[in-house]
Amino acid sequence: MDDGRKAAVARLYAETHLADQGPLRGLDRPAEELDLYDDLAEGSVTL
């Protein structure tokens, strides 16, 4: 896992589990996390 992916995972975890979600529980967050999904999913499966 490269440093960029580690940082993205750490940031997403902290935002999801540690930050105050507010009344919408993260639904109002920017869509930039969706752009990271393909990169994170690509690196998650190794055969």
**Is it the case that residue 20 has pLDDT exceeding 60?**
yes
Query: What is the distance between the alpha carbons of residues 7 and 12, in angstroms, rounded to a whole number?
Result: 9
Helices (H) and strands (E) in the chain, counts: 2, 0
Query: What is the distance between the alpha carbons of residues 16 and 21, in angstroms, rounded to a whole number?
Result: 7
User: Which one, of 35, 28, 36, lies nearest residue 7 by Cα?
Assistant: 36
**Is it the case that residue 27 has pLDDT exceeding 60?**
yes
For residue 46, what pLDDT is reported? Answer: 58
**Is it the case that residue 41 has pLDDT exceeding 80?**
no
Enter the tokens of residue 38: 């393909």
| Number of domains observed in the structure of the chain | 1
Domain of 20?
Answer: 3-44
pLDDT higher for 40 or 46?
A: 40
